[in-house]
DNA sequence: CAGTAAATTAACCAATTGGTTAAGTACATA
DNA sequence: TATGTACTTAACCAATTGGTTAATTTACTG
C-alpha cells in the first residue's frame, strides 16, 4: 500500500513527543541528545521519533563529525495547513448552520412557554 | 497513558479513508452505508474508521429509527489549525533564514569563481 | 592506540491499528 | 409475526507502533 506525504505529516503530528521535538527545533537546530533531554525516554526511542519526522520530511539532518544535527523543514506543515484551509469555508458554513439551528431551537422553546 | 484531543485529531487526519469521509460529511450528513460506498472495504471496517472520527470529536451521531446519521463537527479541526498557526511565524522565520543562507552560499560560490 | 561522545542497529516485547468474516441488535413495515 | 435495512459486536489476524536493553558504528581527542 502507498502512504501519502499528507498521511505521514498528520501521523507525525499525532504524537505529543514529536510535536514537542518540532517545537524545540523551531528554536533552532538540535542534536539528538538535546532533543532527548526533556523526555523520560531512552535515546533509541527518541531516535525512532526523529526518524518518523524525517520520513515525513519535517526534519533534515546533516553530518558534523560524530554529530548529526536536525533542522526543521516546514514545507510539509504548509501542506497540512493547506488541507485544513481548503475545508475551512465549508466547516465555517457548517458551523454557522449549527449556530442557526441552535437559535431556532431557543426561539421554539421560548414560544412554547 | 493519556491521549490529548490534539493527538486524536491529528491521528484521525492521518488516514486517507478518514479524510475522504470528512470531505463527504462536509457536503452534508451521511449514513454509514453511504460513507462506505466509495470504498472497497467492508462495513465494519468503515464503522471503525467512523469511530476513530467520533472519538476525536470530529463527528457526532444521532438515532433516526434504524439509521444513525453522522454529522461533521469542525471544532477539533480548528484546534489543529490553531496549533499549526501558532508555529507558522516561527516556521516562516526559519524558512527566511534558510533562504538567506542559500543567498549567502550563492554569493560565496560566485566570489569563488 | 585507547577512550569518549553521538548516534544507530538489532532483537525483543506489548499494545494498537486496520482489515476480515460471522453473528447479533434495533427498528420499520408488509 | 416475519422480513429487510442499518448498524454493531465479537473473534480473529497480520502489520505497525512505541518502547526497552545490548551491541555496534562513526568520528574526535588524549
Segment B64-87, tens digit of pLDDT: 999 999 999 999 999 999 999 887
Question: Per DSSP, what are the bridge partners of residue A27?
Answer: none
Kindly determine whether the C-beta of residue A17 is less than 7 Å away from any atom of nucleic acid strand D: yes
Question: Stated in angstroms, how far is B48 CA from D20 C1'?
Answer: 31
H helices, E strands: number in chain B: 5, 2
Q: Is B112 exposed, middle or buried (0-12, 13-18, 19+ CB in 10 A)?
A: exposed
Please tell me whether residue B31 adopts helix, strand or coil conformation.
Answer: coil
Q: At residue A94, does pLDDT exceed 80? A: no
8 Å CB contact between A80 and A8: no
Round to whole Å and give the CA distance between B99 and B52: 40
Look at residues B13, B1, B2 and name the one whose alpha carbon lies nearest to residue B83.
B13
B81/A92 CB distance under 8 A: no
**Residue B90: which pLDDT band, with cuts at 50, 70 and 90?**
confident
Q: At residue B89, does pLDDT exceed 90? A: no
Q: Tell me how close the Cα of A112 comes to any Cα of chain B, in angstroms.
A: 24
Round to whole Å and give the CA distance between A18 and A52: 8
**Residue A2: which pLDDT band, with cuts at 50, 70 and 90?**
confident
Segment A10-52, tens digit of pLDDT: 999 999 999 999 999 999 999 999 999 999 999 999 999 999 9
Segment B13-42, tens digit of pLDDT: 999 999 999 999 999 999 999 999 999 999
Q: What is the mean pLDDT of residues A72-96?
A: 83
Sketch out chain A's domains with CATH numbers: 5-112 (1.10.10.10)
A72/B94 CB distance under 8 A: yes
Q: At residue A88, does pLDDT exceed 70? A: yes
Residue linked to cell 484531543? B5
8 Å CB contact between B110 and B70: no
CA A45 from centre of chain: 19
Q: What is the pLDDT of residue B2?
A: 84
| Cα torsion angle, B64, B68, B69, B74, sign | positive
% of chain A beyond a pLDDT of 90 = 72
Amino acid at each position: 500500500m502507498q502512504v501519502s506525504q499528507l498521511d505521514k505529516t498528520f501521523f507525525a503530528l499525532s504524537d505529543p513527543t514529536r510535536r514537542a521535538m518540532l517545537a524545540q527545533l523551531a528554536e533552532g537546530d538540535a542534536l539528538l541528545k538535546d532533543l532527548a533531554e526533556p523526555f523520560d525516554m531512552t535515546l533509541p526511542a527518541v531516535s525512532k521519533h526523529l526518524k518518523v519526522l524525517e520520513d515525513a520530511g519535517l526534519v533534515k539532518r546533516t553530518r558534523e563529525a560524530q554529530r548529526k544535527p536536525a533542522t526543521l523543514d516546514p514545507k510539509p506543515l504548509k501542506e497540512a495547513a493547506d488541507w485544513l484551509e481548503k475545508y475551512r469555508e465549508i466547516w465555517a458554513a457548517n458551523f454557522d448552520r449549527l449556530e442557526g439551528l441552535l437559535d431556532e431551537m431557543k426561539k421554539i422553546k421560548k414560544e412554547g412557554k
